[in-house]
Each structure stands twice: as structure tokens, then as C-alpha cells.
A and B are shown apart, each in its own frame.
Chain A
């Protein structure tokens, strides 16, 4: 197949589709425009987002352009189980964070960012580590989404890559700038409705256009045994396991999630996040099935680029109206994530940088709003510039992943255990990052005692991952037991084995080291923290009376 196998829209059609999408979205935000909007509304919609809006927003935010492409790639590479090993673990990132989110809300009912909570708990250095990781993550996400827009426009029309990037950037900024997070949540709902409706139509359409389930099933006889196996070890070890390890890291390290944890009506956190989990899994796994169908049909991705797979299948098998729907699907998914990233970045700079470190809790709300909007403009420009240069972000992604893995235990433990200190938090992250880099970039040869040491640290990391997940849902005792069993299992099966799976080894090492250092330094200290201080220190910037909590707020114990 050549590049001409993609259906080509005329430039006018593509521009009309983009104008309809971004123009319609902008008009929607006029419905919620308010001259009385304060910083609290701009950052977290006054902590009163309802269940439907909250779940839709969480789902739409977590689905970015790469979700479709990566899920389809996984289906194409690993066969039957591939889509599950991308979509399921991505969905669990939403599910596993909500018990911790409920704790965050109890500790800081007026919070806007996780960084504010950590600032109240530890001070500036820990907070800025978290804020830095959040900023880096959101900037990368912005860049990836704008890049996806450019790539899609250039593949489906004669317009250039840069044209797509610029239109997406300006389009997203135009509807997010005025109302901030409120606009993001409101438009997320509309975008998700379109996204789900299109996914519901496109997946069966592709299946039957390719000849129906029988034909696809016949084609599967040509796949390898691993690709035909729903429990493929190849898929588990190379796709599922590294992704599973990252479940809590992505959730903790991403301000777009914590912003929604602070924004959703406190009584609805659980059902909001459970529903978003199901919604995300359904859409992403469903679209991942297109990769599986392509594999079964013997389709080769154009130029060997897996990102071409879905556009290629849609172009080949479906009529133009479906291709236009697919175009809107991808533009909707990348825009909903990009507007959430802009809102997240503005909240971090407003609260974590200006509110806590420059104004020192004497923030001027008007200046704060201005800072938030300027942040959105600067972030969009950065995203556009980085996307236009088509930078290689692999190293940056690896580093951010490590940073997120390193902060998981210190952040969660800081919210439950009164002995964690600022030094313990900071040094845990630094030590984990150093040893992560050693394992990830093979700075030391992974053999002999060195390999055994790293596998031992990784086994502790395995115990920490499972332990924290169990702890979130079932409490301390179950968490400790599950963690210990997972440690023993990882040590038993992982010794002499994990050294061959660098990504997994490095990720687990980051968890293990950060936990060991954090616990050791904390135990050596006599400090005890009173958790009630957090609620008093994290306030509403529009109203200095921190005792004026939202309706139904439950305070920390």
C-alpha cells in the first residue's frame, strides 16, 4: 500500500470540519461565561462538578489521540489480547486513584492541586518536585496532542502538518482561555458524547466492512500462537506489566486527574471514577480492536508507521462520511485532553507557583486569574513550537515516567502516615531517580551481584505497587499482606529474570528505592504531623476564611 491509499479530503472540507468543531465548542463555552468567576471556579469549578459531567470529563481527558493509535498498535502487535493490555490498564489508572482522591479531599477540602496539599504537609521542596513533574507531563501531553492533529490533517488532506498543529492549538486555547477548568469540563461532555457515539458506529462498521466476524476469524489462523492466545505471556510481559506498574504513577503524577478529584462533588467521587473507568475501557479497547482486525486481514501499515493503522483501515473500508466522523473523533479526543492540560498547567502556576511560593498565601485573585490565562497562552505556544519541530520526546517521556514512579509512595504515604518528613520525601525521589537511570540506561552492567541487587529492589517495588493498590481499597492490614506476598512472588519469579526486561526492572526499582529511602529517613526522625493542619493551610484564594468549606465537606481525622 502507498500513501495514496488514504482518502483525501479537500482543504476546504477539512477547514470546514475544524471550523465546525472548534466554532461549535467555542459557542458552547459562551453558555457558561460568567463575569463573576473567581479563582476557585477557574481552577476547580467550585468543587461542585456533578456525577455526569465529572465522569464524562474524566473519561474524555484520559482519552487522548495516542490512546487510539497505541491501542490499535497493541492489537496489531500482540493480537487477541493486545487491546486489553493497553485499554484495561489505562482504565485502572482512573479506578485505583479514587480511594486516595477521597483522602485528598478529606485532608484539603478547598484544594486545587495535589501540590498545595504536599506544600501544606511538607513545604516547598516536595511541592515543587510534584509540580515540576506535573508541568512536564502536561507539556508533553500538549505537544503530543497537537502533533497528532498535525499528522491527521496532513494524512487526510493536502494541508500541511504545521497547519493542523496551529489550528488545533488556537482552537483549544480559544475556548479554554475565558472560563478555564469550567470550560474544559463543560466541553469535555459534548466532546465525549460525540466520541462515544462515533466509536459505537465505527467499530461495528469496520468489522462488517471487512467481511464480518467469520472472515476476521478465518484470518486469525495465520497469526502466531502468541497472537491467538488471550493470555499471551509476550503481551503481558512487554505491554501489560510495564503499564500495570505505571497505573498509580500516571494517576498521581497527572494534575488533570487530581484537578478532577478536587472538582467533583465529594459525595460522587467513587461513582464518577468507576463510571469513567468503564467508559475509558470501552472506547479504547473497542478502537484497539481495529488493530486486531487489521492484523487478521493482513494489512501492512503505510510506511511501517503504526500510527497510520486506524486512518488506513477507516480510509480503505469505510465511505467518506465515516472518515469525516473518524476525523472528528480524533480531533475531539486530542482537544479534550489538550484543554485539560491547559487547565492543569494554569492551576499549577496559579496555586503552586504564585499562590504558595510567590504570594505566600496573600494572593490577589485578579492577578491570579491573569497569571492562569497567561500560563495557558504560554503553554499553547510552547506546545505548538515543540510539536512543529517534531522533537523526539522519548527520553523526556522516560524521565517523566520515572519521576512519577518515584513520587507515588512518598505522596501517598504523606497523606496517611504522620512520620513522613520533607527530607524523606525529597531524598526518596532523588535516590529513586538515580537508581532508575542506572537500570533504565544500563549505566552499570546488569549481571552478577548488581543485577541481583536491582532485582531485589524491583521486588520491593512490586510489593509496593500491589500493596498500595490493596491499601487504597481495603486498608492497612490487607495492603501490608498483599504487598508482602507480591514482594515474595516478584523476588521468587523475578530473580535472574527481570534483568532482561529493562523497562519493567527500572520502573519497579524506582518504586522500591523511593519507598525504602522514604521509610528509613522517616523512621529516623521524631517528627509527628497533625493532619488537621492541611485543611487549615490549603484555602480558597477568593475567600480567606478557610472554615467556609463547601457543602457536605468531611474534614480530616
Chain B
């Protein structure tokens, strides 16, 4: 196995974590704004 392939095999998981983190944060921020606009409980 090449060094680059091995590096990708290990580092793809933190990269994926970061991507999911961004998606979740954006979605929660959007929900928070919508709850404020509609004057209802966020959760």
C-alpha cells in the first residue's frame, strides 16, 4: 500500500467528521433562526 493511500485511509475519517460537523451546525443555526422568527421554542 502506498504512503498516500494509507494517509488517505486514516485521514478521510476526520475529514468526514468535519464535513458532518459543518452540515449539522448550519442546519441547527437555520432551525434556531426559524424558531426565533416564528416565536416558538427551539426544542
Contacts and interface: CB of A to CB of B under 8 A. Distances in A.
Interface of B is mostly: helix
A276 to B, nearest CB: 9
B25 A286 contact: no
A282 B27 contact: no
Interface string B14-43: 101110110111111111000000000111
A55 interface: yes
Interface stretch (A212-220, A371-379, A424-432): A212-220
B13 A286 contact: yes
Given A45-B43, A196-B21, A278 B16 contact: yes
A459 interface: no
Interface of A is mostly: helix
Contact of B41 (A34, A56, A220): A34
Contact of B27 (A50, A199, A289): A50
Chain A interface bracket (under 10, 10 to 19, 20 to 34, 35 or more)? 35 or more
Interface string A175-188: 00000001001100
A200 B10 contact: no
Given A32-B41, A49-B43, A50-B31, A192 B24 contact: yes
Interface of A: 32, 34, 45, 49-53, 55-56, 59, 80, 182, 185-186, 189, 192-193, 196-197, 199-201, 203-204, 207, 212-214, 216-217, 220, 275, 278-279, 281-283, 285-286, 289, 292-293
Contacts, number: 101
A52 B6 contact: no
Interface residues of B, number: 27
Nearest to A45: B43
Contacts of B23: 52, 275
Interface of B: 1, 3-4, 6-7, 9-11, 13-14, 16-18, 20-21, 23-31, 41-43
Contacts of B26: 52
B3 to A, nearest CB: 5
Contacts of B1: 217, 220
Most B CB atoms within 10 A — which of A55, A200, A293? A200
A200 B22 CA distance: 12
Contacts of A196: 17-18, 20-21
B12 to A, nearest CB: 8
B43 A282 contact: no
A283 B13 contact: yes
A289 B13 CA distance: 9
A230 to B, nearest CB: 9
12 contacts: A45-B43, A51-B31, A52-B27, A55-B27, A189-B28, A196-B20, A200-B18, A203-B10, A275-B23, A282-B13, A286-B10, A286-B17
Nearest to A206: B10
Contacts of A293: 10
